[in-house]
Amino acid sequence: MPKVGMEPLRRKALIDAALSAIGERGSLDVTMSEIASRAGVSSALAHHYFGAKAELLQATMQHLLAELNADARHALSRAGSPRERVSAIIAVNFSAKQFRPETIAAWLAFYVEAQKSPTLRRLLRIYARRLHSNLMSGLANLLPRHEAQQSAETIAALIDGFYIRCALKQGEPDARSAIAQVTDYVALKLAQAGASTCRTQS
């Protein structure tokens, strides 16, 4: 039987091991025994905590979402202006904690698996709604509502696109370049909106 008080530590170790295994394999085609071995526990103990592999994969996805959400909330709490809120969310998605090879590979694997897993698809929808809401918390004060909605969708697509492109090529993720390119889009969109406002007023 597992030791009293060890469950949170063991569960976290198994989730970290799952991320590592998925990142190395590039897919969700990993076994519970492989994950348990990486976590330094027995396969039986892994099953005791999570039951089947699907439950561990769901917990791993939820862990990624929880970390990203916590980082986003912290970043937004420190942002002042609406523009800073948008920049903060972009930066969070490409932070050293989030935009690393194993996490990038895990996100791509979950996207692929979500095509046939309703549970993972639901979790990805939660991620998409949160990202959209966080971006709108700044964009809604910078652009007309319809344009803000469209811009939030475009920024989200750019973020997801950089993750996919990075997962499909070798080398270290270039977070600085990704942030710069997404920020360039925001600057261009806001400049266009400003020019349009000036023409309307003249």
Instruction: Please report, in tens digits, the pLDDT of each residue of the chain (202 residues total).
Output: 555 568 889 999 999 999 999 988 888 899 999 999 999 999 999 999 998 999 999 999 999 999 999 999 999 999 999 999 999 999 999 999 999 988 998 999 999 889 999 999 999 999 999 999 999 999 999 999 999 999 999 999 999 999 999 988 777 889 999 999 999 999 999 999 875 554 444 3
Fold that domain 60-201 belongs to in CATH? Tetracycline Repressor; domain 2 (1.10.357)
Element (H, E) at 35: helix 32-39
Using a cut of 0.75, tell me whether the model's pTM lies above it: yes
Residue 155 main-chain phi, psi, to 5 deg: -60, -45
Q: Which residue has the tokens 């475009």?
A: 154
